[in-house]
Each structure stands twice: as structure tokens, then as C-alpha cells.
Amino acid sequence: MKKETKIRGITWQLGNSGTITPVAELEPVGIGGVTVKRATLHNFEKFKVLKLSAGSDVLVSRRGDVTPYVEKVISYQRGSLPFEPVKECPVCKSIPVVNGKFLECPNSWCDGAKIGDLKKWASVTEMKSLGIGGKTLEKLYNCDFVSNPSDLYTLEVEEIEVLDGFGKRSAEKIVGVIQSKKELPLSEFIGGLNIRNFSTSMVELLVENGYDTLDSLFALNLDVLVRIKGIEDKTAKAFLNGLENKKGVIQGLLDVGVKIKEKKVMETNTNGKLSGLSFCFTGKVEVLNEDGDRYTRTMLQNLVIANGGSAVSSVRNGLTYLVQADPSSESTKTKKAINLGVQIISDVDFLSMITRIERINMDVI
């Protein structure tokens, strides 16, 4: 659904990866039962192309029924000058640099970037979904308790419980959640390092291609990386530079006892009910298991393999199913799946499929 409204102004936000994103301040408009007051312009390039000014009439949508987005300009306010680009990082005041379509803060010691590293680690390792959100991390950082991911693992209950808004029970929960995340798959460990322009799915792609240990990743070079299908030159360079820059962070995590899980080779059930079918999982998993805990993507992938199917990390020709919480999402993977004729189902539909298979197997037994 799309609605027309007016632009009031532009604010600039520093993201977890150090990207400075323009956000349009809007006259409130109702879209799909939600009042929208702000909408992302996505990147610096789009900001320049749109040439927005105060009073401009714009068309706004909620992509995937979630993210407000300025689709296009309908008309400009006569006599109103276009907004100027930001001149400094909104957090540390460093002069931004242009990197392709994006505007970035170049200061690796920027408080916003450091907090972004913590948020990324908490998100990828699923600490966030277990209650350690951005506000908690910001408070811990501002109190000088943590400055990088490894510091999280040295936190003690006695330190946290004296902070405003906490207490012994919440402090115990925070420490408990963190300590439960000391053994991680390689994709989460590397994906949580917040390497710019290199996502967790890219790490999964490397693992799929046999680079499933830290040593094998550090042994990679540009020539080898660009020969892997799905990794372009720019992405490969970003990974190699990022991995080199994160050596100290990696060593710090290893020193406090964080371990990388050995990749378990699951025996494929060639006679399984999913034999010959392939599945790609994307986005956040919303469904809960019998214990009330959220399924992880790895759990769902293991269910596929246990039933004879194959789990892949990208949408490609021959893929049978794309599985995501919202099948009507307008993500890049969704659009690609539609173009390739891949069937799109929800994670609930997938688990129903598995449940039916298990019930059939039990009936046969």
C-alpha cells in the first residue's frame, strides 16, 4: 500500500555498520493501519537523486508491511531549496566519506560504530532475541563496562545489578544469556564481527564451499574468493580487508573462551520424504518449538537434511522452496524467487510439512 504525503525535513542516522543513512521526516500519514512519520531514503545515492526539499510531495510505502520507504517524488515545493547533505557523522563529528552508493563514517573509534559492533554481535548470535537489546548494550557501553564483543563475556552480575533500571534478576539473565553464547557456528562468529559489505549469508556461502574453519578463511586470497559463485570482486575485497582489521577482535573473543563449533556432517537420508527437494531459508524465524524457544535457521536446515533434502544459502535456478516468515515480503531474495518460479512458503508452512512427514513415518512404523 502506498500513500502521498509531504516532506518536513531530513535527519541522518548512523547504522551498525558505520553507514550514515538519510531519513525523511514526514507529515503523518496512515498506511496499512499504521501512522508513518519517518521513512528511510535507503542510501546517499538516492538522497542525491531525489533532491528533496521541504514541502515536497512524495509517495510513501511500507515495504513488506514493515519498513516505511520513500518511493518517489510527486512534486516539488516551488522556491524551496533541496536539503544539503550531512557534513559530519551525527555521533563523532568526523567528516563522512562516500563509498559507492553509501555515506560512511571513517572513524573506527566512533562511539556509534563501537556500539554498532556490539549490536551486530548480539543480533547475529541471537543474544538480542533473548533479551539483550540495543538499549541495554548502549547503557553498558556508556558505563565503560564494554567496548567490544569480548568484553561482554567478562561481565559479572555484581557490576550490572547496581545500574539504574537493572537489578539482580535482570543482571543474572544478561550474564546467563551471554555465557550461553560461547560456542558458535563459524557463520555466526564471523558474521557477528560487523565486517562492512559482507553479510552472514556470505560466510555461509564460504562454509558451503569448504572454507569452514578460521584458518581456512585467513588463508583465502582474492583470486580464490572471486572464483566462488556469488562473490564479486568488491565483496571479496571487503571481506579480506575486514578480516584483517578484525584480527584483534577475533583474538579477544578466543581469549575469553568463545569457541567455534565444529561443523557436524549430518548423514543425508537419501530415502527421506524431502529427497530431491531444496530449501533456502531467509529472514528472521518467527515460529517457536515445543519448549517455547524460537527455532534457529540452523535447526530448520538440519530438519531438511535429516529428511533427505538439501539446504542452500541463496536463491538459484532449480531451488524448490524459499522459506521466510512473510511470504509476501518484497525482499531481493523474494523477487528473485518469483522471477525464477521458485515456490515461496512461510516457516510455519515448512514446519507443517515436516510434521506431516513425521506423522506419516510414525503411521508406517
C-alpha cell at 44: 546517499
Burial label for 145, CB within 10 Å (0-12, 13-18, 19+), is middle
Q: Sort strands 321-323 and 278-281 into parallel, antiparallel or unpaired.
A: parallel
> What tens digit of pLDDT does each residue of 70-86 get?
989 999 988 889 999 99
Q: With 90 as the cut, is the pLDDT of residue 7 above it?
A: yes
Show the cell assigned to 249.
Answer: 577482535
The mean per-residue pLDDT over the stretch 132-151 comes to 94
What's the whole-number average pLDDT of the chain?
87
Structural fold of domain 185-260: DNA polymerase; domain 1 (1.10.150)
Nearest to 117, CA basis, from 211, 45, 183, 195: 195
What is residue 270's predicted lDDT score, i.e. its pLDDT?
62
Read off the pLDDT of residues 237-289 as tens digits, 9 standing for 90 and up.
999 999 999 999 999 999 999 999 876 555 556 667 888 899 998 877 777 66
Report the amino acid identity of residue 89. C
CA separation for the pair 289, 295 (Å, rounded): 6
Instruction: Give domain 111-181's CATH architecture.
Output: Orthogonal Bundle (1.10)
Question: Tens digits of per-residue pLDDT, 289-312?
Answer: 655 566 777 778 888 888 888 888
Angle between helices 233-245 and 247-255 (to 10 degrees): 50
Which superfamily, per CATH, for 278-364? BRCT domain (3.40.50.10190)
- To the question of domain 2-104 being in CATH 3.10.290.10, the answer is no
pLDDT of residue 289: 64
Compute the distance between CA of residue 217 and CA of residue 240 in angstroms, rounded to an integer: 9
Among 90-94, 118-122, 275-279, 341-345, which is the least confidently predicted range? 275-279
Banded pLDDT at 230 (limits 50, 70, 90): confident
Using 50, 70 and 90 to split pLDDT, how confident is the model at 313?
A: confident
Secondary structure of 204-219 in HEC code, one letter for each residue: HHHHHCCCCCHHHHHC
**pLDDT, mean of residues 121-129:** 88
Grid cell of 69 as nine digits: 520507504
Q: Are 242 and 193 in contact (CB under 8 A)?
A: yes
- Inform me whether the pLDDT recorded for 145 exceeds 90: yes
8 A C-beta contact, residue 328 and residue 64: yes
What pLDDT is stored for residue 79 in this prediction? 86
CATH 1.10.150.20 residue ranges of the chain are: 111-181, 185-260
Residue ranges, CATH 2.40.50.140, the chain: 2-104
CATH 3.40.50.10190 residue ranges for the chain = 278-364
Cell of 163: 545500574
Is residue 105 pLDDT above 90, yes or no? yes
